[in-house]
Amino acid sequence: MIEENPDGYERIQEDTRETGQIPKLFGRIWKYMATSKFEPTYARQAFPCFDEPHLKATYKVHLLKPNDPAYTALSNYPQYAEETVADGVMVHFNETVPMSTYLSCFIVSDFAYTSTTFQNGDRETPFRVYASPHQLDKTTYAGAVGKSVIEYYINYFNISYPLPKLDMVAIPDFVSGAMEHWGLVTYRETALLYDSSTHSASNKQRVAEVVAHELAHSWFGNLVTMDWWNNLWLNEGFATYIADKGVEAAEPDWKMVEQFQINTLHSILSLDATQGSHPIIQTVETPDQITEVFDTVSYNKGASVLRMLEYVVTPENFQKGVTNYLNNHLYGNAETQDLWNEIQKVVGEGLNVTQFMDTFTVQMGYPILETKVQGNQYTFTQKRFLKDYETAARQKNSPLNYKWSIPVSYVTDLGTSQIHWFDYGANELVVEKPSGTKWIKFNPSQVGYYRVNYEENDWNVLIENINDLSLGDKTHLLEESFSIAESGDLSYTIPLTLTKYLVNETHYIPWSVASSRLQSISNYLQTSQFDSNFKSYVIGLLTPAYDKLGWDDSNDSEGHLEKLARVVVLNLACAMDYDVALNESKTRFDEWILDPTVPISPNLRSIIYKFGKFHWLRQSHFFFVFTSRA
């Protein structure tokens, strides 16, 4: 290998095949490993093949590994034999089921593993988590959450996991976050390894989410693969959506289905309101174009429109349609239309699934409904929502002229409505508000991929009754009002008045939205005369939550969401220059500087390092003096 020596910057080369030894550089023993990652179009560089997803094949893999018992060879299927040869040990693997070239994988390493099994129909399937030997104790959580998640998927899809084994491997410096190689799933170390003493609650959630996403591909992507890369969203959008269900099954207290709004939906609503977006389904031909569609649109918008579809057709019908789609294309390929066809068969003729979903998949963007009210009658018109309407003149042409078929529903203090369809060919939709209701809110829990702008009176009624709404609806109104105000279609008076309710809020999910939005406004006001007053206003909002959550993060019985809420609130308090919070961060930073063995909670590290360090430097009288000579 070639490496640089920091003592002399000499180039050092050592050929281990000649010396039979691993080079020792800078006081470290260097270990080698070999691994592959072929998605989307790199299998052709490893072996002769027609490297396209619809051309599936079976594989018989043979790997040469060092003649060293510490080294293991892995591939998609279990090995059936090995033999010593002149250059090492040749390992032979069983023939695989048919799969696309990009799912083939090999690894040769000195990794160790922890092992369990999962219930797979009438059999137990081996399940291992590999990591470098000194990291092995950090694989336990991934194995536990992976077992729960994959057993949930087996039940949800009503299809057994098709392979005889499942390995997950933590690879140092892996090029992607993770990759769903069938039977040999590979991860960046930070996406698979977890240690409660050094990792934060958000790290733990990230591990669970990535594991759930990759394991979902065993069905959606591996068992049934998109016919061509223009339908990549079938793989990634579905895996993104179903992963939250999988994690919720494993960690029900985390409320992952409710976290979908802040983790998946809001970021794509922001991007999709710009001219930098693109349709979910678009033509791709070259390898570079294929790589480009591995983006937020394929993942997050794909997941968001599937969430809307499930709401429209009901979860039961959605699940049946998905299972039928998988069963009808086992070990084969499919297009988006194939999924719509299977769901259509389940729901019957009352809804044209293709027409509805095409309006959200073949054109970019999404609609905002503008409201006119006469008595109890709400009249809606639609237009494309944009953060900056001045860019509309240069937007790309749309095959549907930026009109959508929108499933409009609402919730009131008396209950939830049926769906009222605003067809993409209609000019308006009229909805009657039930008599005797105090308030009406459209798009319950923000499940529809659209926005609603109310008349001022209805906004104020919702603000007055905000505490009667669900967590998802509170979160929705916060995000939506700020977003519409950003576009210029609504006065900032509405979202800022809405934030007054936060004095009674301690839940992580709405505070996550509020913190992001309030800090954005604060950034705009930094050099203005309003900066101090705005920060004082925000401090007034967060003080009750700050006092309740505090800085004590050592309570093991405390819930996951409380830990996440603490981080959001403390970070916002420091960002708003709340003296109490800044002094506490400095005190904790001072203690750590004086004695580095003083533990800092993994959840609070970023806050204490960022704000404590800044105020430690500011108050420690560090000055830089510049002098010059004539």
Residue 337 CB partners (closer than 8 Å, separation 6+): 354
Q: What is the sign, positive or negative, of the torsion defined by CA atoms of 286, 291, 295, 299?
A: positive
Q: Say which residue the tokens 């691993």 belong to.
A: 22
Cis peptide before 40 (omega within 30 of 0): yes
Number of CB atoms found within 10 A of residue 403's CB = 19
If DSSP states are collapsed to H, E and C, what string results for 18-51?
Answer: HHCCCCEECCEECCCCEECCCCCCCHHHCCCCCC
- Residue 557 structure tokens: 């019985």
Angle at which helices 140-157 and 232-250 pack, to 10 degrees?
Answer: 110
User: Is 213 assigned to a binding site?
Assistant: yes
- Do strands 11-13 and 2-4 pair parallel, antiparallel, or not at all (unpaired)? antiparallel
Whether 370 is a known active-site residue: answer: no
> Rounded to the nearest 10 degrees, what angle do helices 560-575 and 579-594 cross at?
100
Name every residue whose Cβ is closer than 8 Å to that of residue 315 and which is 6 or more positions away in sequence. none
DSSP label at 99? B
Q: CB under 8 Å to 261, separation ≥6 — which residues?
A: 445, 446, 472, 475, 476, 479, 509
Q: Which of 137, 98, 110 is nearest to 34 (CA)?
A: 110
Query: Which residue type is seen at 524?
Result: Y
Phi first, then psi, for residue 370 (nearest 5°) are -100, 140
Structure tokens belonging to residue 296: 């937020």
Q: What is the C-alpha to C-alpha distance for residues 621 and 348, in angstroms, rounded to an integer? A: 74
The strands making up 79-85's β-sheet, listed across from edge to edge, are 62-65, 88-93, 79-85
Which one from 214, 248, 258, 486 is the annotated catalytic residue? 214
Is residue 92 part of an annotated ligand binding site? no
Phi, psi of 600 (to 5 degrees): -115, 130
Phi-psi region of 126 (alpha: psi -120 to 50; beta: other; left: phi over 0): beta
Going from the C-alpha of 588 to that of each of 363, 592, 599, the distances in angstroms are: 51, 6, 10
Residue 450 CA neighbour count, 13 Å, CB half: 31
Q: Please say whether the beta carbons of 379 and 429 come within 8 A.
A: yes
Looking at 191-301, list the stretches that DSSP marks H as alpha helix, in order from N- to C-terminal side. 201-216, 232-250, 256-260, 266-271, 287-292, 296
Active site amino acids: 214
Residue ranges of the annotated binding site for Zn(2+) are: 213, 217, 236
The annotation places the binding site at: 213, 217, 236
